[in-house]
Structure 1
Amino acid sequence: MGRKRKQEETKAGSPAWMTTFSDLMTLLLCFFVLLFAFSTIDLRKFSAVMQSFQGSLGVFEGGKTLDSTEYIQEALNDEKTTAQLEEIEDFKKLKEQIEEYLENNEMEQQILVDLDARGLLLRFKDNVLFDSGYAQLKPVAKKTLEFIADLLKQEEFIEKYIRIEGHTDADPIIHSKKFPTNWELSVTRASNVVRFLIEEADMSPQKLSASGYSKYHPVAPNDSVENKAKNRRVDIVILRSEFVKSESYY
């Protein structure tokens, strides 16, 4: 009876092999935590890698292969990421060259140079390019535009699209047959800059476009003389490649 009772008894707890397996999993977890701590994580690539594990280890629901959607392929495209970084560096280099020119010619208060979501922005403030109410380029302004055009004809910028944008304040134009409203004035100013860049600075017309926004894209409220001066401007935008691809008319 005693021997039979011993045979019926079962050992309590997990099997012995589970201890070794648990140690192994703990070591693997520590290993990956260290890798994570010493690395820089690209969120989109990390998500792509995680999707490749879905289902294959029986942990997550999903398929057993890497998701082949366009978003995942884009995240794993190292060449595209490298190209974007190179483009940003090129824009920074161009920004520094223009800022140096402006500083040497004491024009840093008249022209703003800035990197934004669209690309590199050159903002010609108030009457830098044109006299009030006119659309004829000033002789001094032509020298600045020629310098900028020479920079944009460098190899790294020769294929960039460039948009010229004319803006005005909210004051209506008085007694002008040529420019009945601010619409005509803003469009003509932008067009004249484009014409100069093509006809006198020898830039490619395929990469240039002109837009007029009248008073409807202010950078400050039109409630004071100073703010109205900020709104009277011409912007030259060297567009990022990704921004151009999102624009259907290019």
Structure 2
Amino acid sequence: MRKSSTRQRRDRGAPNNHERWLITYADLITLLLIFFVILYAMSRLDLKKYDMLSQSLQMQFRKADSLLEKGSGIMEGNMDPAKYKTPAPSETPEPTPSNKPQREVKKQEQELQDLLKVIQKYVKDNHLENEVFVVDTPQGISIRLSDRFLFDLGRADLKRDSLPVLNRLSSLFDKLSTTISIQGHTDDLPIQPGAAFQDNWGLSTGRALSVLRYFVDVKELDEKKFEVAGYADTRPIAPNDKEADRQKNRRVEILVLRQN
């Protein structure tokens, strides 16, 4: 009886562990992971070392005293090692920077700044601050002309009073070598029935074209230096919620572009 109870206590004190296989499985997964990491590292090709090996093999194949039979190599001709030599940094010719583009950019910038000063002085001397606005922008010199100064309501025929300003601008533009963009803009009010234009797109484009034709047809400036566009009410500079702001949006902008 005493032996039997001792055996029972031993059986209860050392139960079987049914999860020991997890340790072996985890070790196997770890080893597989290491194996694939090593395979990935071995699969990466060092292009620089591969290129050096390729050149070395080519040189050996071309040498007349190689171990190949007849000693003439397996590639035609003799290889000139200097041809495959990578030039040292001091031997690589560096391009000489040209100062011409910098001179052109500096000259153009000086032209724009001179233009800005001349127009600002002209506007001030002739008390046109409420009709002509000029400012330097990242794109270039912007000359904004109010529509009431240039045109009658809903029309694209230039007013006679605006011609002196356009004459002055044309004399300045004739000396420039940059592109000049003429852009027409309107407010968001629809065109009245029976007007000369169907919508604001036609009105804004027609007004920009009238200014362009005056510069090209009347003042005989080179048409290649101009570009023209009509934007209708898509580029307002003020909210279209009251008449004073709508008046600001009805304009023709002449942009003397800053070309990089």
Deviation at 1:81, TM superposition (A): 2.7
Matches within 5 A, 1:72-221: 77-154=98-175, 157=176, 159-221=177-239
Deviations 1:166-224 (A, max 9, x none): 00000111123421110110000001111111111111111112100000011111111
Q: Which runs of 5+ in 1 are unaligned?
A: 1-62, 243-250
Deviation at 1:86, TM superposition (A): 2.3
SS of 2:134's equivalent in the other structure is: strand
SS of 1:172's equivalent in the other structure is: coil
SS of 2:169's equivalent in the other structure is: helix
Q: Is the 8 A contact 2:155 2:196 kept in 1?
A: no
SS of 2:148's equivalent in the other structure is: coil
Cα 1:83–1:180 change in 2 (3 A) is same
For 1:169, give the aligned amino acid: D
Amino-acid identity (%): 30
Which one of 242, 255, 260 corresponds to residue 224 of structure 1?
242
Deviation at 1:65, TM superposition (A): 4.4
For 2:201, give the aligned amino acid: W
State the TM-score, normalizing by the size of structure 1. 0.64
Q: Is the 8 A contact 1:110 1:128 kept in 2?
A: yes
Deviation at 1:108, TM superposition (A): 2.0
Deviations 1:85-119 (A, max 9, x none): 22112111111111111111110221111111221
Distance 2:217 2:179 in 1: 17
Q: Is the 8 A contact 2:143 2:255 kept in 1?
A: yes
Deviation at 1:162, TM superposition (A): 1.1
Q: Is the 8 A contact 1:162 1:208 kept in 2?
A: yes
Q: Is the 8 A contact 2:154 2:195 kept in 1?
A: no
For 1:238, give the aligned amino acid: V
SS of 2:233's equivalent in the other structure is: coil
Distance 2:130 2:95 in 1: 45
Distance 1:217 1:183 in 2: 12
The equivalent of 2:253 in structure 1 is: 235
Distance 2:195 2:98 in 1: 55
Deviations 1:29-79 (A, max 9, x none): xxxxxxxxxxxxxxxxxxxxxxxxxxxxxxxxxx9749x9xxx989x5543
Q: Is the 8 A contact 2:145 2:251 kept in 1?
A: yes
Deviation at 1:129, TM superposition (A): 0.8
Cα 1:178–1:148 change in 2 (3 A) is same
How many pairs does the alignment contain? 172
Distance 2:209 2:95 in 1: 40
For 2:244, give the aligned amino acid: E
Matches within 5 A, 1:24-35: none
Distance 1:183 1:153 in 2: 29
For 2:226, give the aligned amino acid: L
For 1:167, give the aligned amino acid: H
Distance 2:165 2:95 in 1: 43
Matches within 5 A, 1:54-73: 65=89
